[in-house]
Amino acid sequence: MSQIVKRAYKYRFYPTPEQADLLNRTFGCVRLVWNKALAERNRRYTDEHVSTSYVDTAKWLTAWKQDPELEFLREVSNVPLQQALRRQQVAFNNFFAKRARYPRFKSKHKSRASATFQNNAFSFRDGVVKLAKMDAPLDIVWSRPLPERAEPSTVTVSKDAAGRWFVSLLVEEKISPLPPVDAQIGMDAGLTHLLTLSTGEKITNPRCERRDRRRLAKAQRELARKAKGSANRAKAKLKVARAHARITDRRRDFLHKVTTRLVRENQTLAIEDLTVRNLVKNHSLARAISDASWRELRGMLEYKAAWYGRTLAAVDRWFPSSKLCSARGCGHVNGSMPLNVRSWTCPACGSVHDRDVNAAKNILAAGLVER
């Protein structure tokens, strides 16, 4: 049965100097409003033991705009400032529900520069997007079409550390499930191979960061030699950011292709419920684990399975998938098995197992039970 989902379509665009200046000022105002509201929330709770709502922060914003020292807040659209306060309220709701960490202050150099415009602060007609307080539309590169008759509800403009500009349009889209298939798959995540499937197929880990490590290291060395605050340091910093962006883009493209294929070909998918946050505490493997991006892989599988009528089962991370014999009717659990042991023979039934394929078969069996 078809379902209506909210889906963001992201495109690059190239602003004029005037648009870039206005958007950069908007980003700064959004960051300022977030930080001032967070500081006042903290003060009220510490000094007065009073909780704060979005309505309170909206009143603060109105007062700040009347302050002569903050009159520049009136030079940008008010909607992104209000949206920043709404996002902060959501962040606190998630914190109190124990779904996220306590909201943090935004840094000019480390935080993502973005601003969200609701439909009362932009116009969209015939593929032309024009934001509030701008005289000209955005020069967007439409790399893929929007759904037919789509009407964006919000437009988010962002700029990454590499200096690239993006616009993300949130639309409602009707997605139909894929035709049912009989195939089922178990997946064991790894480092040498990104995924080992219960069919015996091993999907190679592209190691995007490792392949570009020399280029990245060279850019970082050049950055370290530049004087702080100099124009040359800014140029060197941009080179480092572009190297990171290249790695991120290639990794995400590969993960999208792999997850789309797996979801299309299989009705049920089973994967281990790994806690990546704990795994990266191993300093010997942290860099390789981050490069594999298991968390992003899991997230893609989750939303694509939900969209296309597939089932994704997560198997408990303490399940002994590698040590359990997957031969029919056996079920023997082997003893301690270091990571350097890549194959083993079951002492109970004599079956010879590839460690990763055996784990994928056991993950599939466990996933079918939990489903």
Give the model confidence (pLDDT) of 111-165 as tens digits: 889 999 999 999 999 889 999 999 999 999 999 999 988 899 999 999 999 999 9
Helices (H) and strands (E) in the chain, counts: 10, 13
| Edge-first strand listing for the sheet containing 311-315 | 202-204, 193-197, 184-189, 268-272, 311-315
d(CA 297, CA 191): 13
d(CA 157, CA 122): 11
Average pLDDT of the residues of the chain: 93
Is it the case that residue 278 has pLDDT exceeding 80?
A: no
Burial, 79: exposed, middle or buried (Cβ in 10 Å; 0-12, 13-18, 19+)? buried
Q: What pLDDT shows up at residue 44?
A: 95
Q: What pLDDT shows up at residue 158?
A: 97
Banded model confidence at residue 93, pLDDT cuts 50, 70, 90: very high
| Each residue's pLDDT tens digit, 303-339 | 999 999 999 999 988 888 888 898 888 888 888 888 8
Is it the case that residue 56 has pLDDT exceeding 80?
A: yes
Q: What pLDDT shows up at residue 114?
A: 96
For the residues 41-68, what does the mean pLDDT come to?
A: 95
The residues annotated with a catalytic role in the active site are: 188, 272, 356
For the residues 18-47, what does the mean pLDDT come to?
A: 96
Q: What pLDDT shows up at residue 331?
A: 85
Banded model confidence at residue 371, pLDDT cuts 50, 70, 90: low
Dihedral class, residue 93 (left if φ above 0, else alpha if ψ from -120 to 50, else beta): alpha
Angle among Cα 120, 150, 155 to the nearest 5 degrees reads 40
| Each residue's pLDDT tens digit, 180-235 | 999 999 999 998 899 999 999 999 999 998 889 999 999 999 999 999 989 999 99
If one compares 69 and 370, the residue with the highest pLDDT of the two is: 69
For the residues 242-256, what does the mean pLDDT come to?
A: 94
Q: Return the domain boundaries, the chain.
A: 3-175
Q: In this prediction, what percent of the chain has a pLDDT beyond 70?
A: 99
